[in-house]
Amino acid sequence: MTQGIKIVTIGGGSSYTPELVEGFIKRYNELPIRELWLVDIEAGKEKLQIVGDLAKRMIEKAGLPIEVHLTLDRRSALKDADFVTTQFRVGLLDARAKDERIPLSHGVLGQETNGPGGLFKGLRTIPVILDIVKDIKELCPDAWLINFTNPAGMVTEAVLRYSDHKKIVGLCNVPIGIEMGIAKLLDVDHSRIRIDFAGLNHMVYGLDVYVDGISVKDKVIELLSNPENSSFVKNVEGQGWEPEFIRSLNALTCPYHLYYYKTDEMLKKELKNYNEGTTRAEVVKKLEDELFELYKDPNLAIKPPQLEQRGGAYYSDAAVRLISSIYNDKRDIQPVNTINNGAIASIPYDSAVEVSCVITKEGPKPIINGDLPVAVRGLVQQIKSFERVSAEAAVTGNYDTALLAMTINPLVPSDKVGKEILDEMLEAHKEHLPNFFSKVEA
């Protein structure tokens, strides 16, 4: 390894990039980055330039010797990389808007990660990530792939199952958000909190929670049974659980559980957004436009505070602490998506899980916390089945498999409605689904 670290960020033109750059700057002393390559595609060229220029200004202001490279040539960027981060969005926010709006037009939640929208996000993303992985195998086989691209669970599952590059970690800001929320709820510093996380991406539970190593789970559950305390995590608006429900569930939930344990209320809310043109994609798009206006300002050399509304809170923290722990063999505990290998008995041995891991230089190693509570195993398995069938559909481009994935999704009411949504979405996303359409044409 040459002196210093080479990091490649695919989807470098993302509005999140300043987050990441800020994180790299803050931890430079433990993570001496030599080169940061921001990679994007032709369609994202302009954004890449804007974000890249901001990144350069930020680094210059910090007085650090990090070289920032902007490129559309992924392969030249990957050569000898130490870490590759992926945060791209195939089809951009327009695609997300379709992922959300088409299902809603059928009275079904889109849910861009574990719902029908997530299926399509997976269908678009998985072939691309497998392509990137092929390049990594060739050009930087020792590099760790840190994937932020959603649906992060499905993507991690697909890479583990359909490639032979095992150095992938799926990363999400939901667990760190829960930690932060609980810390605030208990009014203690975040560093004193530890949660035993187990489950899947966006379907993760906190099996226990500690302050200074002592379980405070009972207290936290009691606090959460007060509806006023439940909206502690941003991004998805919190709604209170029925006190008796959360008590008997006896585990911390994540915001995405609302889609499954409060399906009717979420649907009502999102249908309202649908009608008002304020679905998440639409809101985010507006935010992004504003952000890029800010980023253009040649006097801006810090991450603008407005970025926090974007929803990626703590992404930077989560990402940089993970990379640093791998690089420095810190052996601290972080929740990430990795191969199960028995950590959760009721999930297949070779599947991706989101679980508390010790982070070593050789990557994350899951910690055993016992099995999931009986009551949640069903829903978790259902999402896992959905992830696996979706990943298979993405790789094979098989229509029937895609319909199977759609129908078994817990948010979809029937094979018939599933087929209607599927057909409409396939058509809408046609240009980003070559696996499906090249075959049809052939």
Residue 346 within binding range of a copy of itself, rule CB under 8 A: yes
Taking the least distance from each CB to a copy of itself, the nearer of 248 and 306 is 248
Catalytic entry in 205, 256, 314, 315: 256
- Min separation Cβ 102 and a copy of itself, Å: 17
Calculate the dihedral angle through the C-alpha atoms of 117, 119, 123, 126, rounding to the nearest 10 degrees. Answer: 110
With CB under 8 A as the contact rule, the residue among 136, 403, 421, 426 that binds a copy of itself is 403
Q: Is 257 known to sit in a ligand binding site?
A: no
Cα–Cα distance, 101 to 284 (Å, whole number): 14
**Nearest distance, CB of residue 133 and a copy of itself, angstroms:** 21
Look-up: residue for tokens 């993970």?
A: 322
Q: Is 150 within any annotated ligand binding site?
A: yes
Residue pointed to by tokens 């032979």: 164
Q: Which segment (58-66, 163-171, 305-313, 404-412) binds a copy of itself by CB under 8 A?
A: 404-412
Residue 8 or 198: which CB sits closer to a copy of itself? 198
Looking at residues 305 to 334 of the shown chain, list those that interact with a copy of itself (rule: CB under 8 A): 328-329, 331-333
Exactly one of 71, 105, 229, 263 binds a copy of itself (CB under 8 A); which one? 263
Give the binding range for a copy of itself (CB under 8 A) out of 15-23, 181-189, 243-251, 316-324. 243-251
* Torsion sign across C-alpha atoms 360, 362, 367, 373: positive
388 known member of a binding site: no
> By CB neighbour count within 10 A (0-12 exposed, 13-18 middle, 19+ buried), where does 346 fall?
middle
**Stretch near a copy of itself under the rule CB under 8 A, chosen from 66-74, 133-141, 208-216, 428-436:** 208-216
Residue 205 interacting with a copy of itself (CB under 8 A):
no
Report yes or no: 119 and 392 within 8 Å, Cβ to Cβ. no
Q: What is the maximal distance between C-alpha atoms in the chain?
A: 62
d(CA 383, CA 156): 14
> Which residues in 64-103 contact a copy of itself (CB under 8 A)?
none
Residues 6+ apart with CB under 8 A from 311: 234, 235, 284
* Near a copy of itself in 405-424, by CB under 8 A: 405, 407-408, 410, 413-419
Q: Fill in the amino acid letter for 301.
A: A
Residue 327 appears among annotated catalytic residues? no
Q: How far is the CB of 377 from a copy of itself (least distance, A)?
A: 5
Please, which residue, 214 or 442, has the CB nearer to a copy of itself? 214
**Contact yes or no for 334/172 (Cβ under 8 A):** no
Question: Which residues, 347 to 386, sit near a copy of itself by CB under 8 A?
Answer: 348-349, 358, 360-362, 365-371, 374-386
Q: Which two tokens stand for residue 92?
A: 């951009």
- Residue with Cβ nearer a copy of itself (59 or 233): 233
Vertex 173 angle, CA 170 and 177, to 5°? 145
Query: d(Cα 318, Cα 110) in Å, to the nearest integer?
Result: 26
Cβ–Cβ under 8 Å, residues 97 and 105: no
The pair of structure tokens assigned to 102 is 């088409």
Q: Smallest distance from the beta carbon of 361 to a copy of itself, in angstroms?
A: 3
Residue 23 makes contact with a copy of itself by CB under 8 A: no
Q: Which residue ranges make up the annotated binding site for Mn(2+)?
A: 172, 202
Q: Which residue ranges make up the annotated binding site?
A: 96, 150, 172, 202
Q: Which residue ranges make up the annotated binding site for substrate?
A: 96, 150
